[in-house]
A and B are shown apart, each in its own frame.
Chain A
Amino acid sequence: MNVAGQVVGGGIGDILVRQQSGSRLEVGDLLVSEEENSILILEVFGLQYGSQIDGRVQEMMSGVILEEEPPDAEFYEPNFVNYVMARVKALARVNRDLSVNLPKSLPAFFGKLRIISSEDLKFLQGGGRDRIFIGYIRSGSKVIRDAKVWLDARDIFTHHLLIPATTGRGKSNLVKCILYHLLDSSGVGALVLDAHNEYYGLNGEIGLSSHPDARNSLVYYTPTDPPPGSRHLTISLDTIRPDHFEGIVEFSDAQVRTMRKYYSDYRGEWISQIMLTDLSMLGEAESRRDAETRSITMAVLQQKIRQALDLEVDRENNVVVSRHNVFDSVRGGRTADDVVQNIEEGRVVVLDTSKLNDEAELVVGSIIATRILDHYREAKTRGILREKPVATIVIEEAPRVIGEEVLQSRTNNIYSTIAREGRKFKVGLTAVTQLSSVIPKAILANMNTKIILGNEMKMERMALIESASQDLSEDDRTIASLDRGEAIITSIFVPFALPIQIPHFEEIARQHPPPAPGTARVKVF
């Protein structure tokens, strides 16, 4: 046995281990205690110095070295006298039959521990059609390439997935990896609002389009110059309803009433009618005061809709046009339905929203997400929900729609509705964020899988620790020290919080086996 340390004290949740000299333990290292019919997996969450020499004597020794620089002076038996103590906690007990339990006992006092090996992780299930590869088990910074973490896609996406991290810790790479594996699964359909247009893979870059089954499983919408096989992102203004703005754009009661009145009167043309309304013609038969009020309300409403959807009014032709070509008063009537249909067929639909402003992007998502939820609700009512794949909405900077402030100041939006009750209808949210702390605790706790990447901000770490599916109370420093691509999975679907190394997307794409001849389904859009 390659001994890494020995148990010398502590208690449940905080066991003290003296490091074997030369083993160089790291925060996050996984250790194993071999027991009679099982192994106990433990994780290092803290490291500190230990010494047989009193602290004041140590300081004196340092003074001697620094101030006197004595010749021929050294530390005798340095590994014996001065050493490193690791604070570890037990993560899981793996029984001989590979069943896994939460540990309720301590490893043997003075028991020797070794670094984990792939043999110890055989209990991790392998891949499969509806399973997605998240990464390799990681012990500290050491990656165990034989121990791969595959999660059941239907489980994790139904119960919402949170990907929290600060900039530069590998969020986009992780999302790309997850989506790439989703392309192998027909059990989950995904709507991806790609605000940076970084997932598809354009101009020869490796992206989701590099997947061997991309033609069949991936649908890409972009507002300009769609590459072959992809579609033009055009959404008819007719498909937008007043409630699609709910919780995204802030309207006064009078503005909402006006919107509803126009929707009631003009149905699909309500936005065009509002935008084309001549303010001077308002309230011809009314009192001057009322006319002024209506005029102001309409003016502000026009301005808000114009800004939200990036619209312009072509007075010459008396039509409403979109600055980014996404919204159209004539074309794009089928887009939302097509997207929803693709998702219901288990495909990944990527919308390039990079040219849209925040609100327009969210409105586009809202239109489709509302439709998905409606379809799934209806499917449940009809008893056919089981036949449908899980649907997930991938949204970046999630606090824009499920942040505490947004939810308090505005009405609920479709995203928060999905976060709260989507699980019943197999509709989930995949929320990517730098600021978990501004998401209400009730919603955070409902996100039953979190893939936590590095985060320097204490407040963010605490929000995650408090809402984790496993006890991460001692992992504050561990999360802070996660390097790029390193993560911890906490989920109701894993036996313990799994430290992982997320692979580079390019590596995944290169390794992916090409489809067997004759198995690819071809779909021409």
Chain B
Amino acid sequence: MQSMAGHRPLDTLVRNLRAGLTNMVHNDVVMTREGRPGLELKPEAFRPIARTNAPARMAFVDGGNGTVAESPNFVISLNRLYCGLFRGRDRTGAPPDPRIEFFSLVVRRAAHTETEYKTEYDVSLFPHDDSHRRYMPTEYDVKASIRDTPTGSDPRIPSLSRSLGEWRMARATVQTLERGDILVMDGSLTTLDRIESSYAQDLYRSAQDRGVVVCALAKTSRLLTRGGEPLLDRVHEISAGTGHGMWCIEVAEQVSSHDRGFVMAVKLHPNAAFPFRFEILREQFLEMDNAEKDRILSSMAANSCDVSFLGYPYGLVDADRYAQVRNSDVAMYGALLESRLRMDGDLAGILRSMRAYGAHERLNGVSS
């Protein structure tokens, strides 16, 4: 009989990792989808980012959501959208409605035909102020974004309203910006479906009309090189030989058909621990000269000297702080909702259903 001490699954796992992920042969071009070309990642391709005394105005947009209540036939989410304005290290005013909060209710109901049993979704959105609807997606678009899945429920349902809302918030923000200003989205310019793509397109069109540059910065990236190494790790390694403190390297004109951004990797502070994925709307990027690229990168770097996260734009830290839906927020609204449901006798069944659906939390309480 094998002793417990002799059974070491983690040791085996580590051996497998070593076998699979070490001694890889470098092939320093990003692996794109659909065979799109990538640029070679070599020391000469790195361009230093210079400091600037005249950074551009930048708007940082982010969103957050949390599930307040759910059962098999409905989900209630709390969504937040936020935009902050900065010029270099300084906050520079605020857009008219910097922080928007709304609830989304997605109800899954039976909609039988003569030939089959099936379900349909009803979507309702509830802002605190009706004037905020201009920052929100339409209920129809959220409904149209929901996909059928084998389990009968799209896992993106709780976050759909928020992700579409971020594009809307960005478009509304662009309308308050001026030529030369920069809009920075948290994440990437990747869209997941036709609806989201049309929202992104609205933003791009509006931005191009007003001369506002659209960018996105992602803290993490799943992109790999053709050698199978994580793109940002490999770029970081190669950069060591360049001697640049802050730098940018162009990675690919397009990494997939769902992404409209020209993809780069950037290190925005000499002491930054990591580089980040950075994108500029491709149509805009391809028309830029080097001076314009430098202006954008220097402006980003000028906002990335905060000690709390060196090399990461403070505007995105700020946006995350305000857009985030915390557990305490969810708990508070959950309790408020429950108290209202209790007051209405007809809704007692909903309360039971919510509790039954939340049984795993109870199990956690028992078994943890």
A residues with CB within 8 A of B: 52-53, 57, 61, 64-65, 68, 70-77, 81
Inter-chain contact count A-B, CB under 8 Å? 43
CB <8 Å contact, A81 and B308: yes
A73 pairs with B310, CB closer than 8 A:
yes
Contact B91 A77 (CB under 8 A): yes
Given contacts A73-B310, A74-B89, contact A64 B271 (CB under 8 A): yes
Cβ A76 vs Cβ B269 within 8 A: no
Identify the closest chain A residue to B88 (Cβ): A76
A67 to chain B, nearest CB (A): 10
Q: Which residues of B contact A (CB under 8 A)?
A: 51, 89, 91, 269-271, 305-308, 310, 314, 318, 321
Q: Shortest distance in angstroms between A243's beta carbon and chain B's nearest beta carbon?
A: 71
With a cutoff of 8 Å between Cβ atoms, the chain B residues found around residue A81 in the complex are 308
Is B321 in contact with A73, judged by CB distance below 8 angstroms?
no
Whether A61 contacts B270 by the Cβ 8 Å rule is no
Known interface pairs A52-B321, A53-B308, A64-B310; A72-B269 also in contact (CB < 8 Å): yes
Asked if B321 and A65 sit within 8 Å, CB to CB, the answer is no
B269 touches A61 (CB 8 A): no
Cβ-defined partner of A61 (8 Å) among B91, B307, B321: B307
Chain B residue at minimal CB-CB distance from A57: B308
Q: How far is the CA of A224 from the CA of B330 in the complex (A)?
A: 83
Residue of B nearest to A68 (CB): B271
Question: In the bound complex, what is the Cα–Cα distance between A76 and B60 (angstroms)?
Answer: 15
**Alpha-carbon distance between A70 and B89 when the two chains are bound, in angstroms:** 16
Asked whether A70 lies within 8 Å of B306 as measured between CB atoms, the reply is no
> Which residues of the partner chain A approach B310 to less than 8 Å between Cβ atoms?
64, 70, 73
* Alpha-carbon gap, A71 to B310, bound state (A): 11
| Residue among B269, B305, B321 with max Cβ neighbours from chain A (10 Å) | B305
Q: Which A-chain residue is minimally distant from B51 (CB atoms)? A: A72
Q: Which residues of chain A are within 8 angstroms of B51 by Cβ–Cβ distance?
A: 72
**How far apart are the CA atoms of A88 and B126 in the complex, in Å?**
39
With contacts A64-B271, A68-B271 known, is A73 near B307, CB below 8 A? Answer: yes
Q: When chains A and B are docked, how far (Å) is the Cα of A71 from the Cα of B270?
A: 8
A6, chain B: closest CB distance, angstroms:
18
Residues A76 and B270 in contact, CB atoms below 8 Å apart: no
User: In the bound complex, how far is the Cα of B307 from the Cα of A65, in angstroms?
Assistant: 8
Residue of B nearest to A53 (CB): B308
Q: How far is the CA of A70 from the CA of B272 in the complex (A)?
A: 9
Given known contacts A52-B321, A61-B307, A64-B307, is B271 in contact with A70 (CB within 8 Å)?
yes
CB distance from B62 to the nearest CB of A (A): 15
Across the A-B interface, the 3 shortest Cβ-Cβ residue pairs: A70-B271, A76-B306, A76-B314
Q: Decide if A61 touches B308 in the complex (CB within 8 Å).
A: yes
Q: Chain B contacts of A76 at CB under 8 A?
A: 89, 305-306, 308, 314
Closest chain-A Cβ to B135's Cβ sits at a distance in Å of 24
Of all chain B residues, the one with the shortest Cβ separation from A52 is: B321
Question: A71–B307 Cα gap in the complex (Å)?
Answer: 11
A333 to nearest B CB, angstroms? Answer: 83
Query: Which of chain B's residues have a CB closer than 8 A to the CB of A73?
Result: 269, 271, 305-307, 310
Return the chain A residue nearest B272 by Cβ. Answer: A70
| A75-B307 contact, Cβ under 8 Å, with A68-B271, A70-B270 | yes
Give complex CA distance A65, B308 in Å.
10
A372 and B284 alpha carbons, distance in the complex (Å):
100
Given contacts A52-B321, A64-B271, A77-B91, contact A72 B305 (CB under 8 A): yes
How many Å lie between the Cα of A76 and that of B304 in the bound state?
A: 9
- Flag if A70 contacts B91 (CB, 8 Å): no
Residues in chain B near residue A64, CB distance under 8 A: 271, 307, 310
Collect the chain B residues with CB atoms within 8 Å of residue A52's CB: 321
Min CB distance B326 to A, Å, is 12
- Of B51, B269, B306, B321, most A-chain CB atoms within 10 Å: B306
12 contacts between A and B (CB under 8 A): A53-B308, A61-B308, A64-B310, A65-B307, A68-B271, A70-B310, A73-B269, A76-B305, A76-B308, A76-B314, A77-B314, A81-B308
Whole-angstrom CA separation of A52 from B269 in the bound complex: 22
Shortest CB–CB separation between residue B223 and chain A, in angstroms? 27
Chain A residues within an 8 Å CB radius of B89: 74, 76
CA distance A52 to B51 in the complex (A): 28
In this complex, what residue of A is CB-closest to B245?
A71
Give the complex CA separation of A57 and B314 in angstroms: 15
> Which of B307, B314, B318, B321: most chain A CB closer than 10 A?
B307
Smallest distance from the beta carbon of B51 to chain A beta carbons, Å? Answer: 7
Q: Is the CB of B321 within 8 A of A75?
A: no
Q: Which residues of A contact B271 (CB under 8 A)?
A: 64, 68, 70-71, 73
Enumerate chain A residues within 8 angstroms of B318, measured Cβ to Cβ.
Answer: 77
A205, chain B: closest CB distance, angstroms: 57
CA distance A71 to B314 in the complex (A): 17
Chain A contacts for B314, CB-based, 8 A: 76-77
Which of chain B's residues have a CB closer than 8 A to the CB of A57? 308
- Would B270 and A75 count as touching, CB distance under 8 A? no
Bound-state CA distance A77–B51 (Å) is: 20
Residues of B with C-beta under 8 A to A75: 306-308
Min Cβ gap B82→A in Å is 15
Q: Which residues of B contact A68 (CB under 8 A)?
A: 271
Bound together, the chains give a CA A77 to CA B86 distance in angstroms of 11
Q: Looking across the interface, which residue of chain A has its beta carbon closest to that of B273?
A: A64
**Shortest distance between the CB of A299 and any CB in chain B (Å):** 81
B61 to chain A, nearest CB (A): 18
Central interface residue in B269, B271, B314, by most chain A CB within 10 Å: B271
Find the B residue at minimum CB distance from A60: B308
Per the bound structure, the CA–CA distance linking A65 and B314 in Å amounts to 17
Which residues in A have their C-beta under 8 angstroms from that of B306? 73-76
Q: A64-B271, A74-B305, A75-B308 are in contact. List 12 more A-B contacts (CB 8 A).
A: A70-B269, A72-B269, A73-B269, A73-B271, A73-B307, A73-B310, A74-B306, A74-B307, A75-B306, A76-B305, A77-B318, A81-B308
